Structure 1
Amino acid sequence: MSFLKANSASHIKAPSPTPSNTSTNGAKRKRPADGAPAVVYSQPQDVGTGEHVYTRLTYATDHLRAHPTEWMSFDDIMAFLNVAPGNIQREQLRALMRADNVGNRISWNAREETYRYKPKLNIRNAAQLKGYLQNQKSAQGLAIKDLKDGWATVADDIKLMEDKKEVLVKRTKDGVPKTVWDNDPSLMYPMDAEFMNEWHKIAIPPNPDDLRNTLLNVGLTAASQPRQIVTAPKGKKKRTIRRGGKQTNTHMAHILKDFSGMRS
């Protein structure tokens, strides 16, 4: 390319990496005046913390849980959530609070238009607990933590029922009630003092090995004794004769002779 001048490349300017201040019509872009208010661009509608409809549903559930025995009107709940009349979330929350699904923890009274917290177990006092335990088909106990979901004073009330012999309570090492069962006080009889005295005279060896040896010496089996699995001796398996191949002419089996026993 001899027709190009040596210094022609120096006159080619590379494009600037920064945008130009001029617009397409050649007019310069004006800078905002000092002190002028900044331009506010469009923003999402819900930018506040806790204003999402499901977040407000959680707040409503926690508020009703704090008052488990109280029925509240819809307007009182909306006032607590600070949802003004005309807000689109009012109807959304109304539908969510009335939803009949497992995840909804709110009960709805359609006749009076009131709402209340729905606990895991619909037991809120001692009378309901006693009736539930007596009507269940099995003698299964109830966990105190499940009862506490809708019964805030369950620990104190369970103690009073236990003192009256109405329930049986299993406690942790710290004395915290863990499980409760039904109890019939009419089946509890006082023990004879002489029998209790003789019972407590029986000394239990402090060492578990001594107690085990004592049981073995009198011909009893200790619970700590390892289990012995008795297996029957395996006998020699008799070899069976395999007849290879597919058998044909089964309709002539009564006239054909079987030579399978002559195999070596």
Structure 2
Amino acid sequence: MSFLKANPASRINAPSPTPSNTSASGAKRKRPADGTPAVVYSQPADQGSGEHVYTRFTYTVNHLRDQQKWLGFDDIMGFLGVRPGDPQRDQLRTLFRSDSEGNRISWNAANDTYRYKPKLDIRNPAQLKGYLQNQKSAQGLAIKDLKDGWATVADDIKAMEDKKEVLVKRAKDGVAKTVWDNDPSLMHAMDPEFLNEWHKIAIPANPDDLRATLMNVGLHAASAPRQVNNGGPKQKKKRAPRRGGKQTNTHMAHILKDFSGMRK
């Protein structure tokens, strides 16, 4: 049974938990000198992040929103870093000129320039006044929708409000939320004597006293409880006797007896 004995030369040593400083040939490795940058291996190559045509299209929309002015096609290509001869130039030109509803880029065919297209094509106070005056309803406009294409809308709205050109609804923190059209010619100063007499009218602090005062002078208070009629069940109306339809046996009227008077 000697062939079952382990051969010392065929034993496999367990790997060391710490890296060895010796190479496979037995030569001792040299440690890197202090201050020498370590070499990084297996570094992934650049996969073209940010160079996809739709990614560049999104960059263009954001850039035009920030610029808020017309830009030429070559200026946009320079911003994106797309060189002449790149096939993406034709692809981006097609996307910029698309008529789809989701395209937020306006194209001026006269000089081949492009500009951001906001939700509302309002960019200054004159366009805002024209839009509010021409709309069929008196609906207000949200400031957040105007800000999409009008960067200085908050300051311009404040100036228009001081001139009584618009009416503005603000939040508790003073931020403008909604704007309406306003006609300054309809705003008149109140007579000081009228204001004085108006403020002399004392309103009772207790709502019950105010309700009682209104009822004493014959007025019905809007805050009064609703009165429910509990006078009993409603009486059913007596149904009128049903009249017959068209009589077809008129030729036997001299023979038949009339019983219509016996109906209940």
Q: Please tell me the residue identity of whatever aligns with 2:62.
A: D
| Residue 183 (structure 1) aligned with residue 191 (structure 2) | no
Instruction: Give me the whole-angstrom Cα distance separating, in 1, the residues matched to 2:117 and 2:228.
Output: 53
User: SS state of the match for residue 178, structure 1?
Assistant: strand
TM-score by length of 1: 0.67
Gaps in structure 1 of 5+ consecutive residues: 1-36, 242-251
State the Cα deviation string for residues 88-131 of structure 1 (Å, max 9, x = none): 32222211111112211111001100000111111111111111
Residue in structure 1 matched with residue 67 of structure 2 by the alignment: 67
Shift in Å, 1:236: 6.2
Structure-2 residue corresponding to 1:157: 156
Find the counterpart in structure 1 of residue 115 from structure 2. Answer: 116
- Using a 3 Å threshold, how does the CA distance of structure 1 residues 55 and 210 change in structure 2: closer, same or farther? farther
Tell me whether 1:233 sits opposite 2:246 in the alignment.
Answer: no
CA shift, 1:255, in A, is 8.6
Q: Per-residue deviation at 1:84? A: 2.4
Matched AA of 1:235: K
Does 2:223 match 1:224?
yes
Q: Which residue of structure 1 lines up, in the alignment, with residue 170 of structure 2? A: 171
1:169-199 superposed Cα distances (whole Å, 9 cap, x missing partner): 1111211111111111112221111001111
Give me the whole-angstrom Cα distance separating, in 2, the residues matched to 1:84 and 1:159. Answer: 45
Residues 1:79 and 2:78 aligned together: yes
Q: Which amino acid aligns with 2:79?
A: F
Find the aligned partners of 2:134 and 2:54 in 1 and give their Cα distance.
Answer: 37
Relative to structure 1, is the Cα distance of residues 210 and 121 closer, same or farther in structure 2, using a 3 angstrom cutoff?
A: farther
Partner secondary structure for residue 66 of structure 1:
helix
Cα drift, residue 62 of structure 1: 0.9
Structure 2 counterpart of 1:50, one-letter code: G
Distance in 2 separating the partners of 1:56 and 1:209: 69
SS at match of 1:204: coil
Q: Does residue 1:102 correspond to 2:105, yes or no?
A: no
1:180-219, Cα deviation, whole Å (9 max, x unpaired): 1111111222111100111111223344444344333433
Amino acid in structure 2 at the alignment position of 1:187: L
Which residue of structure 2 aligns with residue 7 of structure 1? none
Structure 2: give runs of 5+ residues left out of the alignment.
1-40, 243-247
* Structure 2 CA distance for aligned equivalents of residues 215 and 176 of structure 1: 40
Offset, 1:54: 2.2
User: Percent of aligned positions with the same letter in both sequences?
Assistant: 70
Please give the residue correspondences for 1:1-264 in structure 2 after superposition, counting only pairs within 5 Å. 47-68=47-68, 70-227=69-226, 233=234, 235=236
TM-score by length of 2: 0.67
CA distance in 2, matches of 1:48, 1:215: 79
